[in-house]
């Protein structure tokens, strides 16, 4: 089969959405499929977005960088059989013909819908409820668009049901266990907390910093590490060790495997990779109870959860683990055991079956339509 993924833009760092796309691209290409990932410099049908002044300036800066730099992705291995296409726009002339064409965010749905039939069956890999990124009515409309949808989390399927969406298939994200694994004893880890930092308000980084400030009062020897795709912001405390765009091997070896706790303060997540990947490396997880982490976490069983937007409760759970090594070890091992069953090979099986089913049904529909047309033409002959 020929499969195309349309990205919303060119990713400059290891954010979750692009990594999920590249995971599928790698695995489908390894199975003999022809896979292309299209990175447009601009979208043919750009949707309106809510941008702060900082985000607007950053968007302009990134746009200039895209025009001046040679595109490359050095933060994740890409199978050399995957076609990485960096094109001027999402106009259909830059999109190869395929059996299936995937929108990979709400931004790209309009561009996919406008493509002719030869570009592939129109599909949508839904990785979150992206109302934090655009007008709710427009985001909701993408859910009701005539696309074959794959949702990465059960709570997203529930959102789709409420919005009247159809043709939804659930395929969860997973963990690359060849990379994310325990290499240092869970029992013997020091007080070290890691958090993925983001300037996006929905990621709750300000709440995370507030929770860490509270925890540091009771446990001043705790080491704090942030990693991010963004530059260090002036409001980040000086006691935070900061890493920008670290490669995956560094995250695994020098961050996750040297930390005892992963902190996730997000207000909303589709199916977040970093907490699960940290757990695969032996970290206990303290998180908000956003829909995404509930796909693999249960409060008091595999981690500690608190309401989104409540840094004091987040700090309370963080302090519980910093002060109780037995609890930390128990929760870390329980979550590690659970995520060990989340396999990208299994998810790729489901994705492959989904694409085969969609294209087969469409081929059958076209054949039936031609047969009916022929019969109708025959009935008109005397």
Give the span between the Cα atoms of 61 and 178, in whole angstroms: 36
Name the nearest CA neighbour of 237 among 221, 226, 251: 226
Stretch(es) of the chain classified as CATH 3.40.50.2000: 2-174+343-372, 192-339
Give the span between the Cα atoms of 197 and 226, in whole angstroms: 6
CA distances from 259 to 26, 216, 247, 273 (A): 29, 16, 17, 17
Name the fold adopted by 192-339.
Answer: Rossmann fold (3.40.50)
Strand (E) or helix (H) holding 94 = none
List beta partners, residue 5. 37, 102
Torsion, CA 104, CA 106, CA 110, CA 112, rounded to 10? 10
Using DSSP, state whether 78 is helix, strand or coil.
coil
pLDDT in tens, the chain (382 residues): 999 999 987 665 566 788 999 999 999 999 999 999 999 988 876 555 555 555 555 555 555 555 555 566 777 888 999 999 999 999 999 999 999 999 999 989 999 999 999 999 999 999 999 988 888 999 999 999 999 999 999 999 999 999 998 779 999 999 999 999 999 999 999 999 999 999 999 999 999 999 999 999 999 999 999 999 889 999 999 999 999 988 889 999 999 999 999 999 999 999 999 999 999 999 999 999 999 999 999 999 999 999 999 999 999 999 999 999 999 999 999 999 999 999 999 999 999 999 999 988 665 555 554 555 555 555 544 3
Report yes or no: 105 and 43 within 8 Å, Cβ to Cβ. Answer: no
Other residues' Cβ atoms within 10 Å of the Cβ of residue 14: 22
Other residues' Cβ atoms within 10 Å of the Cβ of residue 37: 24
CATH 3.40.50.2000 at 2-174+343-372, yes or no: yes
Give the span between the Cα atoms of 363 and 225, in whole angstroms: 52
Report yes or no: 65 and 235 within 8 Å, Cβ to Cβ. Answer: no
Vertex 91: Cα angle to 163 and 121 (nearest 5): 50
List beta partners, residue 34. 2
Report yes or no: 236 and 242 within 8 Å, Cβ to Cβ. Answer: yes
Give the span between the Cα atoms of 224 and 237, in whole angstroms: 10
Residue 49, token pair as written in the block: 């977005």
Strand (E) or helix (H) holding 20 = helix 16-30
Three-state secondary structure of 161-201: HHHCCCCEEECCCCECCCCCCCCCCCCCCCCEEEEECCCCH
Backbone phi, psi, residue 102, to 5°: -105, 125
Residue 101, token pair as written in the block: 């064409």
């Amino acid at each position: 089969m020929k499969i195309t993924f349309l990205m919303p833009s060119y990713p400059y760092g290891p954010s979750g959405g692009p990594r999920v796309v590249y995971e599928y691209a790698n695995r489908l290409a390894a199975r003999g499929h022809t896979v292309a990932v299209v990175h447009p410099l601009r979208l043919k049908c750009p949707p309106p977005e809510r941008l702060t002044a900082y985000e607007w300036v950053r968007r302009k800066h990134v746009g200039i960088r895209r025009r001046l730099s040679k595109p490359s992705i050095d933060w994740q291995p890409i199978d050399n059989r995957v076609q990485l296409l960096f094109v001027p726009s999402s106009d259909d002339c830059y999109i190869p013909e395929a059996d299936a064409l995937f929108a990979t965010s709400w931004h790209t749905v309009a561009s996919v819908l406008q493509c002719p039939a030869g570009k592939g069956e129109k599909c949508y890999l839904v990785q979150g409820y992206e109302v934090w990124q655009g007008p709710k009515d427009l985001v909701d409309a993408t859910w009701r668009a005539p696309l074959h949808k794959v949702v990465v989390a059960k709570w997203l399927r529930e959102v789709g049901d409420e919005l009247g969406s159809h043709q939804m298939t659930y395929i969860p994200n997973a963990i690359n266990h060849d990379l994310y694994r325990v290499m240092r004893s869970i029992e013997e880890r020091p007080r070290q907390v890691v958090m993925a930092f983001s300037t996006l308000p929905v990621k709750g980084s300000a709440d995370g910093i507030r929770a860490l400030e509270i925890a540091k009062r009771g446990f001043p020897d705790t080491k704090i590490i942030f990693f991010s795709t963004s530059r260090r912001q002036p409001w980040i405390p000086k006691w935070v060790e900061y890493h920008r765009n670290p490669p995956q091997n560094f995250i695994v070896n020098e961050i996750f495997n040297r930390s005892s706790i992963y902190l996730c303060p997000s207000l909303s997540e589709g199916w977040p990779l970093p907490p699960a990947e940290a757990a695969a490396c032996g970290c206990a997880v303290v998180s908000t109870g956003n829909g995404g982490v509930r796909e693999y976490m249960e409060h008091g069983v595999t981690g500690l959860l608190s309401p989104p937007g409540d840094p004091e409760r987040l700090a309370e759970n963080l302090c519980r683990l910093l002060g109780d090594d037995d609890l930390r070890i128990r929760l870390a091992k329980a979550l590690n055991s659970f995520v060990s069953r989340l396999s990208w090979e299994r998810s790729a099986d489901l994705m492959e079956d989904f694409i085969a089913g969609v294209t087969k049904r469409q081929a059958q529909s076209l054949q039936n339509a031609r047969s009916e047309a022929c019969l109708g033409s025959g009935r008109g002959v005397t």
